[in-house]
Amino acid sequence: MANAVVLLYDVTNQESFNSTRFWCDSVRKNARHSPQIFLVGNKADAKGRRQVAGRLAAQFARQSHMHFAEVSAKDPGSVSRLLYKITAYLLDGETEQKERVGKAAEKGCVGCVIA
């Protein structure tokens, strides 16, 4: 039984992002309980090739009740921080984290809504 699901998409590939709606719906439909879903954009470093705006992805995540972050596999630290934050979220409890997620998402904060 999973407590968290990471939906990873490529910020340089719009179709990759578009498919996350299907996967989100699939998780919610087939999970025995409600795992926390983290929408994560990869290749955040690829500024000139970006096809998915961070604000659009953050808005979609917020509307779909998911957490949001962007990382770059070229920066292993960003991936490590993401994994640490997911773990902390699961261990620290939901109430405090939900408040932080909501506040950061309202500000359009990209890559920090699970900080």
Cα angle at 2 between 105 and 95, to 5 degrees?
A: 40
Pair of tokens at residue 53: 């705006």
Per-residue pLDDT reduced to its tens digit, 28-68: 998 888 888 999 999 999 989 999 999 999 999 999 999 99
The pLDDT, as a whole number, for residue 85 is 85
Q: Where are the domains of the chain?
A: 4-106
Give me the percent of the chain exceeding a pLDDT of 90: 55
Pair of tokens at residue 101: 């997620």
Pair of tokens at residue 23: 């996967």
Band of residue 97 on the pLDDT scale cut at 50, 70, 90: low
What is 4-106's CATH number? Answer: 3.40.50.300
Nearest residue to 10 (alpha-carbon basis) of 41, 34, 37, 33: 41
